[in-house]
Structures are given as C-alpha cells and as structure tokens.
Amino acid sequence: MKVLLLGARGAVGGHLRTALLASGHQVTSAGRNAPDGGVRIDAANSDLGELLREASGHDVVVNASGVENPALGTALGGSTLIDISASAGYLGRLQAASPQAAMVLGVGLAPGLSTLMVAALDHEPGDDIDVAIMLGAGEKHGPAAVEWTQRLIGSPLADPPEGRTVMNLHEARTFRAAGHARRYLRADFPDHTLYGRARNLRVRSYFALGSVAATTALGMVARVPTARGLVAMVPPIGDDSWSIITSNRRTGQLRRARGSNQSRSTALLTARTVDALAGTRPSGAVTVDRLLDLDHLMVEGIELD
C-alpha cells in the first residue's frame, strides 16, 4: 500500500516508517519541515490543500505527528486516515467534522491495544470495565506526548460514563502489576468513548508512570494546574517498560499485556493496522478492534496473557 506518514521524524514516526517499509509498503514521509526525500505538510494548518494533494495519491494517511486538527478528515482525497491520538475529545471532533470519511481512530497502546483488550473481555451491557495503563518513566518521549500529559492537568474527562464532571488525575484506584499493588490515576484515554459508549459499558481508564514517585508527583501537580509546565522538566526516571491491564469488575476477568519502548510498540501496532487495511476501506470511522483480534495478534516485543 502507499502510505503518507505525517510526523515521520517523530518518536513514533521513525519506528513506524521502518516497520512499514519492512512490511513492503511504500512510504512518503511528511512533516512540518520536509524530511529528507519527503514532503512538507503542516497538519496544524487551517489550509490543508497540500495534504489533500498528497493524500489523493495514497491509500492510507497515518497521523503520527501529534497534531490534533479535526479538519484532517476533510483532506483525505479518498484515502483512509489512521490517527494515533489518545485524546477522547479530539477524536470525537475529528469524527464529527467528517462523518463519512474512512478513518481508524485510536491506534497505538492506549487506545489501540487497550481497545483490543477491552473487546476481548466477556462483557454485558452495564458492566464496569477498568483499564490500567503504566508507561515507563525512563523513556524519553517526544514533545507531543509531553504536551498531551500537560493538557490533562486542570481539565475534565471528555464525556465520562458517570455523567458528571471527572477531573483528570484526581481520582485513584489500586491495581496489581508485576506482582505489586500500585496506585493509578484516572485519565482521559478514550476507550470509554471509542468502545464503551456504543455498548453501554462503563469504561474507566487509569494511568501510572513506572516510577511511584513520578506518579505521586503527577497527582500533586494535577491539583495545581498552573504548575503543569513542570511536566516537561522531569528527567527520565527508571526504565521504558509499559503494561496494560483490563478487567471486568462483575466477572473478575483480566487481560494483561506488557512490553518496553512505548514509541516502538505503538509504531508496530500501527503498522499491523495498516497491513489489515490492505484490500479494504472502512465505511466511516472504526476502531482497531474491527481490524485486529487480540488472540491472533503477533507483534514483536508485546507479551499477552
């Protein structure tokens, strides 16, 4: 397939380009500053004419730039958009702005792998599903990931299942990961809107860093939104291991996944999603569980149980 990759020089984009080429796809690298041999496309621009011209000659556009521009779906030129954003509000606006556009929303670890793990649980309407996401505090993330974390501070979740205001990083819940009980903070990963809402499931996502101290500090900063700038100043602490746990409160059923290097894992999952699109085009917006199955998912470096 012919793939237009926005953000090709980013933390995820670099790994993704390598993975797509290894799968035999043709890749056009794009960025706000044109990569070597690529094209210049500013995904944040209100005028997306350049994107439309390039997208028209491609099968798939992957937005790995970190830019959250709801107008992207209007400039696909018949291609399918894959967006790796983890922002529930943005993904909702993206779909609303282009309801007929072919899009795969929420591709990566969370949402993405987490979506597949929620879908793999036995569930009934009305069930409460928890998603616990731990990301390695020792991994150096790109500016987009840091900005995403900063945007959580002082902001409410988008359309939470409780039907009331829920502030990011204020509520906490304890989960066991790697044999240890850990405190996770409620965060606006969008499985509650992407997967849970249509199935009448109350999906709640929680977030922790691999460092207990860093998680505690994040919870404290969340109470003082004016201090959000401190997030960008925190040095990498620990390793780059990540883990995801999904559980059904009613049945007690669990699914677990673990790995290392969040950026690379996100890239490899996105590449598998591109593979799954070969020969097909979604009708409107879909989530990754429409294309991949957890029990048949084979991605290097990701362990499932």
Q: Residue 183 — pLDDT band, cuts 50, 70, 90?
A: very high
Say whether both 116 and 256 belong to one domain.
yes
Q: Residue 237 — pLDDT band, cuts 50, 70, 90?
A: low
**Distance of alpha carbon 148 from alpha carbon 85, whole angstroms:** 9
What is the pLDDT, as a whole number, of residue 236?
A: 63
**Virtual CA dihedral for 190, 8, 271, 105, nearest 10 degrees?**
30
Say whether both 269 and 257 belong to one domain.
no
User: Is pLDDT above 80 for 216?
Assistant: yes
Say whether both 115 and 246 belong to one domain.
yes
- For the chain, how many structural domains are there in total? 2
**Distance of alpha carbon 153 from alpha carbon 277, whole angstroms:** 36
Say whether both 150 and 218 belong to one domain.
yes
Q: Residue 104 — pLDDT band, cuts 50, 70, 90?
A: very high
Say whether both 48 and 37 belong to one domain.
yes
In this predicted model, which residue has the larger pLDDT, 34 or 94? 94
Q: Residue 179 — pLDDT band, cuts 50, 70, 90?
A: confident
Question: Domain containing 174: what range?
Answer: 110-261
Say whether both 138 and 211 belong to one domain.
yes
How many alpha carbons fall within 13 Å on the CB side of residue 24?
2
In this predicted model, which residue has the larger pLDDT, 96 or 138? 96
Q: Which residues contact 27 (CB under 8 A, 6 or more apart)?
A: 3, 5, 8, 17, 20, 21
CATH of the domain at 247: 3.30.360.10
Give the burial string for 92-116 (b: 16+ CB within 10 Å, else e): bbbbeebeebbbbbbbbbbbbbbbb
What is the pLDDT, as a whole number, of residue 16?
A: 97
Say whether both 154 and 73 belong to one domain.
no
CATH of the domain at 102: 3.40.50.720
The per-residue pLDDT of the chain, averaged, comes to 92
Say whether both 198 and 273 belong to one domain.
no
What is the pLDDT, as a whole number, of residue 119?
A: 97
What is the pLDDT, as a whole number, of residue 41?
A: 95
Say whether both 148 and 252 belong to one domain.
yes
- The residue with tokens 């980013």 is 10
Say whether both 157 and 231 belong to one domain.
yes
